[in-house]
Amino acid sequence: MQVNMHEAKSQLSRLGEKVWAGEAVIIAKAGKPYLDLVPHKENLEPRRPGRFKGQIKIAEDFNVTDEEIVAAFEGDQ
């Protein structure tokens, strides 16, 4: 659901209820998406570095860049 800023100001309680019920609400400014209305999350779990250890695989050639691509970025075509 997308609402304009004026409507959001006058209908904030109703929009908040919709968000808590699981509906996505986007507030628009000048007809373009401007803000996402999201519910507050209490007691977010702290970030745990390393929790995906052993689950992510990086290809052997990850840091290898094709010379044509390098030349295109550097303007050496």
Give, as one character, the DSSP assignment of residue 7: H
∠ at Cα 71 (69, 74), nearest 5°? 110
Is residue 52, in this structure, part of any structural domain at all? Answer: no
Q: Is residue 44 assigned to a domain?
A: no
pTM exceeding the 0.85 threshold for the entire prediction = no
Domain of residue 18: give its range.
1-39
Is pLDDT above 90 for 47? no
Does 10 reside within a domain?
yes
Nearest to 38 by CA among 53, 27, 30: 27
pLDDT tens-digit map of 57-73: 999 999 988 888 888 88
Counted domains in the chain: 1
